């Protein structure tokens, strides 16, 4: 290994929402950390920090509180206090009320741009962090004791005990480590936009299931709505090409009048929807988190929350091992096996839930829609089922990370 390489304990490849959060979580552990991100945070093409909306669960809010960024996010976070689920064109529906479950909100809707700005502000204050941005990881060489990373523009190579892949569904690190991933194309495209309506948003989130895919209308802090309209690729291309007035008319026909007349729309974006799931989340000196581990359909808004729990769990495992042994090898098989074991139940459960919802509500075989609607109505009448669903905002199952429970990492004093 070249002597000119910069030695670190952990190298995080990918500085989007999940990768940046992990870098912040690791800061108080004393580990030497490097973060590599290919796009400058203020760049218009930064895919992680655009105007898409993200629904943050209560566990995610706790993590952000622990990382010291929630105070910057909260003013632009719209609480979800009511959820209305319906099967478009049919009689099935269900309603959830946060107050009935003793919580203020099921979660909070925030634009990715706000999340990114808050994380980047905190990152810039970490003087011990080796932050390479914009820089791309151009080569990954796995060794028995360390991993060597080359970055461009030209800079000294990095030599890390552990490399964390936070570089998205098409992860370079995952491929370099030879970790396979299953990809299922849903043949759906999400058309995303912000709209203003005659009736201002007031904490109600709507999820409608249509033959083309799920349809979400989410409250924003300014009284507007974030719309995620799932369509076939052909229909999405048509909708993207419509003038604003015709788009609003088409959206009104598809969604109805629950929020009154739709009046204005901002810029529209389109995102193909696929399920990408790595077979395992660890390899030799490599850990996968966020979309590198699993990229989910946006139905139920679970993808980012799941990825952030990946980061929080990895930080917790590393902090535990460092407290037990200051000289611990953070990339050892034992450390990574513990991380994978703790993530297994939550990861599998959320992935099955989101994939199952997409397929259940897209199933038009005779009798299935009737049974589906009956199930929705029974759910609406079942307090215990609603209580179980309300807990999803903390995690699906398994061990909830300490940060998501409002607790500091092991060996780290609470702020």
Q: What is the pLDDT of residues 12-33, one digit of tens each?
A: 999 999 999 999 999 999 999 9
**C-alpha of 11 from chain center:** 20
Distances (CA, A) of 326 to 45, 128, 163, 300, 321: 40, 18, 19, 41, 8
Using an 8 Å Cβ cutoff, are 385 and 379 in contact? Answer: yes
Q: Please give the radius of gyration of the chain, using alpha carbons only, rounded to the nearest integer.
A: 22
Give me the pLDDT at residue 49, please. Answer: 44
Measured between alpha carbons, how far apart are the two ends of the chain, in Å?
39
Residue predicted with more confidence, 217 or 413: 217
Using an 8 Å Cβ cutoff, are 119 and 17 in contact? Answer: yes
Give me the pLDDT at residue 368, please. Answer: 79
Global pTM reads 0.93
The number of C-alpha atoms within 13 Å of 27 and in the hemisphere containing its C-beta is: 20
Peptide bond into 134 cis (omega under 30): yes
Average pLDDT score, the chain? 91
For the cut 80, the answer to whether the pLDDT of residue 45 exceeds it is no
Domains of the chain, start order:
6-77+107-183+274-362+398-405 (3.50.50.60)
Instruction: Dump pLDDT digits (tens) for 284-340.
Output: 999 999 999 999 999 888 999 999 999 999 999 999 999 998 889 999 999 999 999
Place of tokens 């990229």: 295
Pairwise CA distance, residues 37 & 52, whole Å: 20
The stretch 103-119 carries a mean pLDDT of 94
Q: Which residues pair with 108 in a beta bridge?
A: 56, 79
Pairwise CA distance, residues 48 & 148, whole Å: 26
Give me the pLDDT at residue 52, please. Answer: 83
For the cut 70, the answer to whether the pLDDT of residue 69 exceeds it is yes
Give 40's pLDDT tier (boundaries 50, 70, 90). Answer: confident
Distances (CA, A) of 393 to 71, 177, 378, 398: 20, 32, 21, 13
Cα angle value 234/235/238 (rounded, 5°): 90
Portion of the chain with pLDDT greater than 90, in percent: 73
Give 236's pLDDT tier (boundaries 50, 70, 90). Answer: very high
Give 48's pLDDT tier (boundaries 50, 70, 90). Answer: low
3-state secondary structure of 395: coil
Give me the pLDDT at residue 1, please. Answer: 45
The stretch 150-166 carries a mean pLDDT of 94
Enumerate residues 6+ apart whose C-beta is below 8 A from 106: 57, 58, 80, 81, 83, 96, 98, 205, 390, 393
């Amino acid at each position: 290994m070249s002597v000119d390489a910069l030695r670190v304990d952990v190298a995080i490849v990918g500085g989007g929402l999940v990768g940046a959060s992990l870098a912040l979580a690791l800061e108080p552990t004393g580990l030497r950390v490097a973060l590599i991100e290919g796009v400058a945070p203020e760049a218009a093409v930064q895919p992680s920090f655009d105007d898409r909306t993200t629904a943050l669960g209560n566990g995610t809010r706790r993590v952000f509180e622990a990382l010291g960024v929630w105070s910057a996010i909260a003013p632009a976070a719209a609480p979800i206090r009511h959820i209305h689920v319906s099967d478009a064109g049919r009689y099935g529906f269900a309603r959830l009320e946060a107050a009935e479950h003793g919580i203020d909100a099921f979660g909070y809707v925030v634009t990715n741009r706000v999340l990114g700005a808050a994380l980047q502000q905190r990152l810039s204050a970490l003087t011990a962090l080796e932050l390479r941005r914009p820089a791309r990881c151009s080569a990954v060489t796995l060794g028995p004791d360390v991993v060597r990373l080359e970055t461009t523009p030209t800079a000294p190579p990095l030599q890390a005990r552990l490399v964390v892949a936070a570089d998205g569904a098409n992860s370079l690190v995952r491929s370099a480590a030879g970790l396979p991933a299953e990809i299922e194309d849903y043949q759906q495209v999400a058309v995303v936009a912000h709209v203003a309506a005659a009736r201002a948003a007031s904490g109600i989130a709507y999820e409608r299931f249509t033959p083309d895919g799920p349809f979400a209308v989410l409250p924003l802090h300014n009284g507007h709505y974030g719309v995620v309209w799932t369509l076939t690729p052909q229909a999405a291309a048509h909708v993207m090409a419509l003038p604003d007035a015709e788009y609003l008319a088409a959206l009104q026909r598809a969604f109805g009048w629950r929020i009154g007349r739709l009046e204005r729309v901002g810029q529209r974006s389109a995102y193909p929807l696929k399920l990408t799931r790595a077979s395992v989340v660890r390899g030799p000196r490599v850990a996968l988190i966020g979309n590198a581990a699993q990229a989910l359909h946006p139905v139920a808004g679970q993808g980012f929350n799941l990825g952030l729990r990946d980061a929080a769990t990895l930080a917790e495992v590393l902090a535990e091992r460092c407290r037990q042994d200051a000289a611990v090898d953070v990339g050892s098989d034992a450390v990574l096996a513990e991380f994978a074991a703790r993530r297994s139940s939550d990861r599998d459960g959320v992935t099955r839930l989101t994939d199952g919802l997409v397929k259940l509500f897209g199933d038009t075989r005779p009798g299935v829609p009737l049974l589906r609607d009956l199930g929705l109505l029974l759910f609406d009448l079942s307090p215990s089922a609603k209580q179980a669903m309300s807990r999803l905002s903390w995690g699906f199952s398994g061990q909830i990370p300490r940060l998501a429970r409002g607790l500091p990492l092991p060996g780290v004093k609470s702020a």
